[in-house]
Chains A and B, each alone.
With several copies, the nearest count.
Chain A
């Protein structure tokens, strides 16, 4: 049962050292503010799951909080590499990063299996690829009707899912629209779920393309206007492409990154001005 809570308290309650955490959002609605709160609270030894790690995971990885990454595409879309991710994988800085690497189809189906209460999902995937040689969460299954061999992926059932959405009502029901990616599956696959929203409204008027997550599958809702920045929330903000491009230079250099993290995340949070939550 979701209650509307401060981001600080929601993160402190729901995210623990050593957890597997999925902060999802396919380019759109990426929950950056919640990730920054994790950084401020120093919650560590995390296994992070996400189809497209993006800048949000570059930041968590660079902050040294991540032990393992479960993913399928790790770049800064349209810009280049995730330098903190690469530095961790290639040089073990600030700590080594274990990888469980999939294709998008495989990751999406891992969440589907988790959301469906199944231990695995079947797909036509990974054929002829070396991917399966580097993970123990891809296997095969044989169709009992046709004898065809297909790929099987293990269900992904994170401890916590965190997503950002446009709105919640006072009961804690959440509404999101636009590209909704794999967020419903991530929430339903996880043991606990936190949603940050742009605003709380009296009633969730139906909208084209909207997905509603009932309050009773969520554990907390926090009001964080702009909580997806530099990603965006359709109807509230636009993607800050300039930030994504600027990130390349920040993340390329360990010192520049560390300074950015100190001033823009750690200090900002300490004063409580970076994200308004209630």
Chain B
């Protein structure tokens, strides 16, 4: 369920966007904002963890962070490298076993938001983190696999996805459906007996896509400052639908940006010294 190569990609994507803000920072700030009003979040490692911790550091100080390693209510002071960093347990309200986490807490339907990364997403916000085809005669490229994602997406009240925008990531057809988002359209989640409403937003470094309530197909609803609709359509592997009025996301506030950069600096420092 995680972004496998967070560190490397962050470095690559660090070119400044508008106002000295990188496109990754726009993604992360908007991903954090998407948690407004949520009480509990099942947090994937990598970008989702950055977003959830930023939300805690800014507008949702009481957000309960839940990591699949068994921690409930973690309050890390730095971004964890792995989902089982010691600080996640030491600062938690409760630590439970992994089976208890998946059965009582996730499957029990108690968690507001499942926040996931993805390698490939399709127009119905289904996710592939398993294998990617490299064409005829070549072996499939192996991704990490499902992790907790299929059941996180099925059992949380809603799902947020965060990943960088590219034609490699936003594909017309998944090579493998690891995690069902909206299936093949409206009604599919109900047909499969899934609890939550499914993916409510896909936050990228270019903007935000949301499912059309009527068709469940992802629609571009917001772009980040300085990003055009055409840029987003170019970076999407299918003919991306666009909302009648696409708005621009508010630029990061100084507080958001400072909090995000402090979290990341603490994470780097923590990783070097530990």
Whether B98 lies near A26 (C-beta < 8 A) is: yes
A108–B97 Cα distance when bound, in Å, is 10
Whether B85 lies near A173 (C-beta < 8 A) is: no
**Would you give the shortest CB distance from B87 to chain A, in whole angstroms?**
10
> Could you say which residues of chain A place their CB within 8 Å of the CB of B151?
103-105, 123-125
A28–B101 Cα distance when bound, in Å, is 16
The number of residues on chain A lying at the interface, defined by a beta carbon within 8 Å of a beta carbon of chain B, is: 73
A184–B96 Cα distance when bound, in Å, is 12
> Could you say which residues of chain B place their CB within 8 Å of the CB of A185?
97, 99, 104
> Could you say which residues of chain A place their CB within 8 Å of the CB of B130?
101, 130-131
The listed residue (B98, B107, B155, B183) touching A182 by CB distance below 8 A is B98
> Could you say which residues of chain A place their CB within 8 Å of the CB of B272?
242
B82 at the interface (CB under 8 A from A): yes
User: Please, which residue of chain B has its CB at the minimum distance from the CB of A187?
Assistant: B104
**Would you give the shortest CB distance from A141 to chain B, in whole angstroms?**
14
User: Please, which residue of chain B has its CB at the minimum distance from the CB of A149?
Assistant: B193
Whether A78 lies near B8 (C-beta < 8 A) is: no
> Could you say which residues of chain A place their CB within 8 Å of the CB of B46?
78
Whether B154 lies near A127 (C-beta < 8 A) is: yes
B81 at the interface (CB under 8 A from A): yes
Most chain A CB neighbours (cut-off 10 Å) among B45, B69, B106, B130: B69
Whether A80 lies near B8 (C-beta < 8 A) is: yes
A108-B99, A182-B97 known; A90 vs B142 contact (CB < 8 Å)? yes
A51 at the interface (CB under 8 A from B): yes
Q: At the interface with chain A, which of B27-35, B171-179, B258-266?
A: B171-179
A75–B39 Cα distance when bound, in Å, is 29
Q: B179-193: which have CB < 8 Å to A? A: 179-180, 183, 188-189, 192-193
B15 at the interface (CB under 8 A from A): no
Scan B15-47; emit 1 where CB is below 8 A from any A CB, else 0. Answer: 000000000000000000000000110000110
Whether A28 lies near B84 (C-beta < 8 A) is: yes
> Could you say which residues of chain B place their CB within 8 Å of the CB of A26?
69-70, 83-84, 98
Q: B35-94: which have CB < 8 Å to A? A: 39-40, 45-46, 64, 68-73, 80-86, 88-90, 93-94
**Would you give the shortest CB distance from B266 to chain A, in whole angstroms?**
13
A1–B97 Cα distance when bound, in Å, is 23
User: Please, which residue of chain B has its CB at the minimum distance from the CB of A131?
Assistant: B146
Q: At the interface with chain B, which of A6-14, A38-46, A109-117?
A: A109-117
Tier of interface size on chain B: 35 or more
> Could you say which residues of chain B place their CB within 8 Å of the CB of A74?
142, 144-145
User: Please, which residue of chain B has its CB at the minimum distance from the CB of A116?
Assistant: B103
Scan A173-189; emit 1 where CB is below 8 A from any B CB, else 0. Answer: 10000111110110010
Whether B5 lies near A79 (C-beta < 8 A) is: yes
**Would you give the shortest CB distance from A151 to chain B, in whole angstroms?**
9
> Could you say which residues of chain B place their CB within 8 Å of the CB of A104?
68, 98, 102, 146-148, 151
A169–B75 Cα distance when bound, in Å, is 17
Q: A223-274: which have CB < 8 Å to B? A: 232, 234, 238-242, 244-245
A144 at the interface (CB under 8 A from B): no
User: Please, which residue of chain B has its CB at the minimum distance from the CB of A85?
Assistant: B142
B194 at the interface (CB under 8 A from A): yes
**Would you give the shortest CB distance from B7 to chain A, in whole angstroms?**
7
Since A74-B145, A103-B149, A128-B194 are in contact, a sample of 5 more A-B pairs with Cβ atoms closer than 8 Å, ordered by chain A residue number, is A104-B102, A109-B99, A212-B93, A239-B85, A241-B274
What is the interface of chain A, defined by CB distance below 8 A to chain B? 1, 26-28, 51-52, 71-82, 85-86, 89-91, 101-105, 108-109, 111-112, 115-118, 123-131, 148-149, 173, 178-182, 184-185, 188, 204, 209, 211-214, 216-217, 232, 234, 238-242, 244-245
9 closest A-B pairs (Cβ-Cβ)?
Answer: A27-B84, A128-B180, A77-B82, A75-B144, A73-B147, A80-B5, A78-B81, A212-B94, A105-B151
